[in-house]
């Protein structure tokens, strides 16, 4: 069965990286693999919603709504 690939654009990744750095200043990474962040992809009938979540509950919406 073929899988599904989700794309994070360079612009979205720049936003995500800046946000990760900001969060990491407040909550330093302590684990050996740094699993503090999770990308969440939600498919809808008009597009894909992309959120980046921190394990303590903060999140950022990386969705490019102009593509809907």
Which is nearest to 39 in space by CA: 47, 48, 30, 31?
48
Which range marks the domain in which residue 40 is found? 10-26+35-67
The pTM for the full model equals 0.82
43 occurs within a structural domain: yes
Q: Would you place residue 36 in the very low, low, confident or very high pLDDT band (cuts 50, 70, 90)? A: confident
53 occurs within a structural domain: yes
Q: pLDDT at position 19, please?
A: 95
5 occurs within a structural domain: no
| Length of the chain as a residue count | 68
4 occurs within a structural domain: no
Q: pLDDT at position 16, please?
A: 97
1 occurs within a structural domain: no
As for how many domains the chain has, the answer is 1
Q: Which residues contact 24 (CB under 8 A, 6 or more apart)?
A: 36
Angle at 24 between CA 19 and CA 30, to 5 degrees: 145
59 occurs within a structural domain: yes
């Amino acid at each position: 069965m073929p899988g599904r690939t989700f794309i994070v654009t360079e612009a979205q990744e720049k936003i995500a990286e800046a946000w990760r750095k900001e969060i990491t200043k407040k909550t330093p990474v302590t684990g050996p693999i740094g699993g503090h962040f999770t990308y969440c992809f939600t498919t809808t009938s008009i597009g894909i919603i992309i959120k980046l979540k921190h394990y303590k509950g903060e999140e950022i919406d990386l969705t490019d709504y102009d593509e809907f």
